[in-house]
């Protein structure tokens, strides 16, 4: 008979697997930052800087205020405990996961950039020689070295992103996804710095697995990081295809490395990591960024926590329902509200531009007053970490919870 979990049990299991079941016990150290960063398996990178760079926020949710330079050193200095790669979008992963993603990212490079040498003969060798001689370098610096041989075309008005890449930039990206060049970190302008992969990774992480081997291990790791999930949620962790992940989960189940179960209200089959356990209760309170691994698979977020979450930064202003950059508030095992926040560095204030409450959906749902009090405490803590001097309600702020926030701020 298939085991069954209540939604509460499933939520608490998911929170424990993600290191979000309880508040941090002590101030963060270099060791705890390393443990948390490698423990969640993937940290998404995004250029958005409304509050802080996206990759800093998941560790803040788990550790509270921590020295950001501790995370910087993990991927920007030797020995590299984390490397940037394309997994769940652009992200930071461990050297072992970097190796496992190799056969997947090579396919992308060949599909989109495979004709680079045909279009620009000699550019691949030239890029490797420059990086070998002068790396680590940004794409801009590589272009400077090779401008005479591979000049950058004039950029047309309105042209940006992939369509504006130079031959050198395309060659660097092909080598980056192909595995001969890796990221040595980012500079102060948030530009990726490239170097030869053998100068960044030890030899044991340079062997490329087969696609089948990669899927098997990445599926197992995704399940462990999530605690439990549907095949779609598990596949999404490293942006894998659902069909082969489902096959791997079935194999893991047969070998005793995954357990099939039912979860209240979730129609699809759910698999559980045999090592995952359920805490008696969840007690953490924190703000979750849109890119947090707990919630970046939106269907799972809605199924487990009842929140239909979409990020506003990619939505036209007229169609936004919860502001530009809303962060769900975690209170115990619930997500009772989300808040549209902005760090105004000119006035040194954290601005609350929106406060949106969820419909109660759990037996232990906090009251509106408790939600507002917890939220304001989290705002003040976040503001301190960001070096801001205070928290204010923004002009024209909206949402049914904004009055509660204003009252709690005093």
pLDDT score for 156: 60
pLDDT score for 117: 86
Same domain, 88 and 125: no
Same domain, 87 and 229: yes
Pairing of strands 349-357, 83-87: unpaired
Q: Does residue 297 lie in a domain region?
A: no
pLDDT score for 157: 57
- Pair of tokens at residue 210: 């087969």
Q: HSE (CB half, 13 Å, CA atoms) of 184?
A: 21
Q: How confident is the model at residue 114 (pLDDT cuts 50, 70, 90)?
A: confident
What residues pair up with 193 in beta bridges, in sequence order? 138
Question: For 23-82, what is each residue's pLDDT tens digit?
Answer: 999 999 999 999 999 999 999 998 888 999 999 999 999 999 999 999 999 999 989 999
pLDDT score for 160: 53
Same domain, 263 and 322: no
Q: How confident is the model at residue 1 (pLDDT cuts 50, 70, 90)?
A: confident
Q: Does residue 321 lie in a domain region?
A: yes
pLDDT score for 5: 97
The predicted model gives 312-325 an average pLDDT of: 89
pLDDT score for 122: 95
Same domain, 317 and 194: no
Q: Is the pLDDT of residue 8 over 80?
A: yes
What's the full length of the chain, in residues? Answer: 410
Q: Is the pLDDT of residue 106 over 80?
A: no
pLDDT score for 161: 53
The predicted model gives 89-117 an average pLDDT of: 85
Q: Which of 156-165, 322-331, 357-366 has the lowest mean pLDDT?
A: 156-165
> What percent of the chain has a predicted confidence (pLDDT) above 70?
98
Helix count and strand count (H, E) for the chain:
16, 15
**Residue 212 structural domain:** 4-99+207-272
pLDDT score for 162: 52
Q: Is the pLDDT of residue 225 over 70?
A: yes
Q: Is the pLDDT of residue 210 over 80?
A: yes
Q: Does residue 173 lie in a domain region?
A: yes
- Name 350's Cβ contacts closer than 8 Å, sequence gap at least 6: 341, 342, 343, 344, 379, 382, 383, 386, 388, 390, 391, 392
Q: Is the pLDDT of residue 158 over 60?
A: no
pLDDT score for 86: 85
Closest CA to 20 of 229, 284, 297, 382: 284
* Total number of domains constituting the chain: 3
pLDDT score for 312: 87
Same domain, 312 and 405: yes
Q: Which of 31-40, 170-179, 331-340 has the lowest mean pLDDT?
A: 170-179
Cα–Cα distance, 272 to 3 (Å, whole number): 10
Please say which residue of 201, 229, 264 terminates a domain: 201
Same domain, 177 and 319: no
Return the top range by mean pLDDT from 77-81, 114-118, 392-396: 392-396
The predicted model gives 159-185 an average pLDDT of: 84
Q: Does residue 213 lie in a domain region?
A: yes
Please say which residue of 216, 248, 272 terminates a domain: 272
Q: Does residue 301 lie in a domain region?
A: no
Q: Does residue 123 lie in a domain region?
A: yes
Please calculate the CA angle 270-363-337 and round it to the nearest 5 degrees. 85
Q: Does residue 290 lie in a domain region?
A: no
Cα–Cα distance, 373 to 34 (Å, whole number): 31
Same domain, 311 and 372: yes
Same domain, 129 and 174: yes
The residue that leads in pLDDT, 114 or 149, is 149
pLDDT score for 311: 86
Same domain, 403 and 322: yes
Q: How confident is the model at residue 145 (pLDDT cuts 50, 70, 90)?
A: very high
Closest CA to 90 of 53, 130, 36, 143: 53
Question: For 255-283, what is each residue's pLDDT tens digit?
Answer: 999 999 999 999 999 999 999 999 999 99
Q: HSE (CB half, 13 Å, CA atoms) of 101?
A: 32
Same domain, 74 and 190: no
Same domain, 318 and 385: yes
Cα–Cα distance, 155 to 179 (Å, whole number): 29
Cα–Cα distance, 221 to 21 (Å, whole number): 20
> What percent of the chain has a predicted confidence (pLDDT) above 90?
81
Q: Does residue 211 lie in a domain region?
A: yes
The residue that leads in pLDDT, 115 or 236, is 236
3-state helix, strand, coil in the chain (%, to 5): 45, 20, 40
**In the β-sheet with 83-87, what is the strand arrangement from edge to edge?**
43-44, 89-93, 83-87
Q: Is the pLDDT of residue 109 over 80?
A: no
Conformation bin of residue 181: beta by default, left when phi > 0, alpha when psi is -120 to 50? beta
Q: How confident is the model at residue 112 (pLDDT cuts 50, 70, 90)?
A: low
Q: How confident is the model at residue 163 (pLDDT cuts 50, 70, 90)?
A: low
Same domain, 192 and 331: no
- CATH number, domain at 215? 1.10.10.10
């Amino acid at each position: 008979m298939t085991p069954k979990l209540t939604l509460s049990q499933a939520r608490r299991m998911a929170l424990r697997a993600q290191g979000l079941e309880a508040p941090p016990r002590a101030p963060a150290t270099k060791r705890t930052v390393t443990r948390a960063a490698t423990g969640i398996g993937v940290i998404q990178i995004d250029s958005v800087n409304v509050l802080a760079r996206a990759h800093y926020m998941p560790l803040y949710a788990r550790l509270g205020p921590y020295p950001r330079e501790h995370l910087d050193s993990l991927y920007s200095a030797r020995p590299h405990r984390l490397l940037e790669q394309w997994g769940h979008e652009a992200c930071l992963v461990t050297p072992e996961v970097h190796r496992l993603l190799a056969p997947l990212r090579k396919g992308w490079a060949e599909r989109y950039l495979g004709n680079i040498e045909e279009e620009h003969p000699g550019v691949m060798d030239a890029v490797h020689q420059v990086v070998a001689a002068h790396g680590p370098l940004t794409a801009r610096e590589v272009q400077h070295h090779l401008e005479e041989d591979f000049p950058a075309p004039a950029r047309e008005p309105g042209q940006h992103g992939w369509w504006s890449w130079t031959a050198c930039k395309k060659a660097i990206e092909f080598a980056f996804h192909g595995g001969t060049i890796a990221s040595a970190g980012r500079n102060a302008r948030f530009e990726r710095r490239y170097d030869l992969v053998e100068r960044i990774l030890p030899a044991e992480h340079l062997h490329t697995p087969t696609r089948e081997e990669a899927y098997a291990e990445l599926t197992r790791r995704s399940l462990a990081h999530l605690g439990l999930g549907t095949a779609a949620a598990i596949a999404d962790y490293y942006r894998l295809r659902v069909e082969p992940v489902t096959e791997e989960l079935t194999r893991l189940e047969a070998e005793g490395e995954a357990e099939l179960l039912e979860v209240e209200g979730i129609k699809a089959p759910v698999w559980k990591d045999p090592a995952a356990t359920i805490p008696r209760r969840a007690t953490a309170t924190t703000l979750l960024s849109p890119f947090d691994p707990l919630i970046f698979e939106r269907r799972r977020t809605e199924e487990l926590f009842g929140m239909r979450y979409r990020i506003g930064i990619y939505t036209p202003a007229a169609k936004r329902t919860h502001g530009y950059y809303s962060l769900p508030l975690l209170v115990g095992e619930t997500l009772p509200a989300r808040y549209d926040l902005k760090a105004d560095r000119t006035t040194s204030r954290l601005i609350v531009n929106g406060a949106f409450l969820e419909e109660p959906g759990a037996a232990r749902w906090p009251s509106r007053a408790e939600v507002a009090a917890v939220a304001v405490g989290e705002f003040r803590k976040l503001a301190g970490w960001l070096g801001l001097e205070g928290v204010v309600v923004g002009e024209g702020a909206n949402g049914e919870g904004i009055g509660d926030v204003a009252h709690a701020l005093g």
